[in-house]
A and B are shown apart, each in its own frame.
Chain A
Amino acid sequence: MKKYTGSNFVFLVGAPRSGTTWLQYLLASHPEIQSGRESYVFSKICLVHQEWHKTRKSGMGMASYQTAEEFMSNLFDFEERQLDALTKNLKPGQILLEKTPAHALYVPQIAWFLPEARFIHIMRDGRDVVASLMAAGNSWGEDWAPTSARRAARIWKRHVQAVDDAKTKLKPHQFLEVRYEALLEDTARELRRCIDFIGLPWPEEALRQAVAANTSEQMRAGNGKALTVSGELAKSTAKALPDGFVRKAKSGAWREDLSLAQRFQVWRVARKTLGKFGYAWPLFFL
């Protein structure tokens, strides 16, 4: 894109309910990192782009009325103006941290639009993700979250698989993966890794403060880092995080949360993927 290379963009992605919000709050505590709510700024536009090429293959679609250059110029202008809105308050030298979990599905396309963009992927044990997705599906997230273990496992698998496919095509300095379990175990250490990857200095003292200010208790009480909302929703007074959004903040809680039948469903769908990423699970009843 003419105006944006993405050098000051960091996309935080992952399967939903993998701790993306927590890591976002931690990072956004840095004075030079700006972050807001999930923008989905690339998800639909990537589908528009895909559809153009897909229909073109069949000799149809807008490709039978306009050249690729004409389409791309229009699409880029649209996306550039959306990015203008997204980065309105961003000052030179600052980083925009964009956290939309679903962007995990569009990493190659985003990197194509913004060749210098960087990505942080937070990976979490799929079994815990399933338990959390289902808890959301039965409460605050009923709009979007699944209530069946099989579907939840598929969502997790689709996201981590998409990122895994995409990361080999990115330059090494463009991609960092963080484990939720490691972030839980030593938050300060993993946060430091992220900040080093982004390339910003942060005194140890300030980093520790950020960790202390964004514990699960603090976030549950609504005291975590406040994200700025401008635009149309600035007028809304809704809470940043719905009740139940910050759940147990534990790893391995799936053992209490999932019934044997649900475990079996997750195992059937995702055991191979789980194994590939170090969450080996040979027998579902263990």
Chain B
Amino acid sequence: MHKHTGSNIVCLVGAPRSGTTWLQYLLAAHPDIKSGRESYVFMKLCELKEDWLALKKNGIGMACYQTDAEFFEILDDFKNRQLDALTKGVGTGQIFLEKTPSHALAIPQIAALLPEARFIHILRDGRDVVASMLAAKKGWGEEWAPKNARRAAKIWERHIHAVESAKSGLKPGQFYELRYEALLEDTAAELRKCIDFLGMQWSEEALRKAVEANTSDKMRKTTQLAVSGEVAKTDAANAAMPDGFVRKAKAGSWRQDLSMSQRFQIWRVARKTLGDCGYAWPYFFL
């Protein structure tokens, strides 16, 4: 069992439908970046710890039976074995890129578990995110996507706020943020900045190839990332991307996608956060 500090783990986070998958595919094209499907591994690990501490505060829980040190040793062993599984194929000098959007909500906790983990946050105009979530609801994302614009806007806002308040607690060099719109405008330049943040080398030629291999047109026809473990026993090795997963890959198409009442709902919930993030929106009907 390896003692994981997170030095070879990078968490790619963001509100769902912000382009996390696209950036993941781009980065995972690098030969020394391994990646896989959404693992959700940190959510529950963090909850195990938080739960123990919260119960202890109320004078109950396993803290009545074991010391802090005893529990943290047990939790650490569980964590390390889960992370061994996650990073199985990752060689020396390579990194594992973990993309689970909702890890955005648990950055401080993840950083406490893995003090050397790094984070990349992809930020996208909340109005486009809402439009994309509502589209997902009508198709492949029915199970998880919100049913109305108000809820979708709240999800976006919750993720953005969580990342925003977590940033200040991270060490310099641990956090990098980019815009979906910028990635769309100049994919190669933004990808290069990510790679620089990770401290890796990538020839211009290879980087351009990665960009070309992962355009929205190609991504629509691509397969999901390979799996091992239990899912590999049942899933086809190359499961297709769900239909509609890669959508318009545009910025600003919320103007066509959202009705006036949906715009109003978003505006009410999120105009302040949108403004703070540089997506100023003084009047919802504009």
Contact = CB atoms under 8 A, between A and B. Distances in A.
A5 interface: no
A56 B41 CA distance: 12
Interface string B22-65: 00000000000000111111011001100110011011111111
B62 A59 contact: no
Nearest to B89: A65
Interface stretch (A31-39, A103-111, A152-160, A218-226): A31-39
B9 to A, nearest CB: 13
Given A47-B47, A62-B41, A64-B228, A78 B64 contact: no
Contacts of A63: 229-231
Contacts, number: 145
B222 interface: no
Nearest to A141: B58
Nearest to B228: A65
A48 B62 contact: no
Contacts of A138: none
Given A67-B229, A74-B81, A231-B67, A41 B62 contact: yes
Contact of A39 (B44, B62, B74): B62
Given A40-B51, A77-B78, A81-B74, A65 B60 contact: no
B65 A36 contact: yes
Given A74-B81, A85-B70, A60 B62 contact: no
A236 interface: yes
A62 B55 contact: no
Interface string B209-249: 00000000000000010011111110100010000000000
B77 interface: yes
Nearest to B87: A65
Contacts of B64: 36-37, 39, 229-234
A232 to B, nearest CB: 4
A252 interface: no
B82 interface: yes
Interface string B104-122: 0000000000000000000
B85 to A, nearest CB: 4
Contact of B82 (A45, A62, A238): A62
B185 interface: no
A77 B80 CA distance: 13
Give the secondary structure class of B's interface: helix
Contact of B77 (A78, A234, A238): A78
Contact of B231 (A40, A59, A231): A59
Nearest to B224: A59
Nearest to B38: A60
B164 interface: no
Interface residues of B, number: 47
B17 to A, nearest CB: 16
A81 B77 CA distance: 11
A72 to B, nearest CB: 10
Interface string A238-252: 100000000000000
B62 A82 contact: yes
A229 B58 CA distance: 13
A61 B38 contact: yes
A65 B36 contact: yes
A55 B227 CA distance: 13
Contacts of B63: 231-233
A88 B65 contact: yes
A110 to B, nearest CB: 15
Contact of A64 (B39, B44, B70, B75): B39
Interface in B86-112: 86, 88
B40 A231 contact: no
B33 to A, nearest CB: 16
A61 to B, nearest CB: 5
Contacts of A74: 78, 81-82
B133 to A, nearest CB: 17
B82 A85 contact: no
B59 A238 contact: yes
A55 B65 contact: no
B66 A65 contact: no
Nearest to A230: B65
Given A44-B51, A232-B67, 8 more contacts: A37-B60, A37-B64, A40-B55, A59-B231, A60-B37, A64-B229, A65-B86, A66-B229
**Closest CB pairs A-B (n = 5):** A66-B85, A64-B227, A85-B66, A63-B230, A232-B63
12 contacts: A38-B61, A39-B61, A39-B65, A44-B52, A63-B229, A66-B85, A78-B78, A81-B77, A231-B67, A233-B56, A233-B59, A238-B59
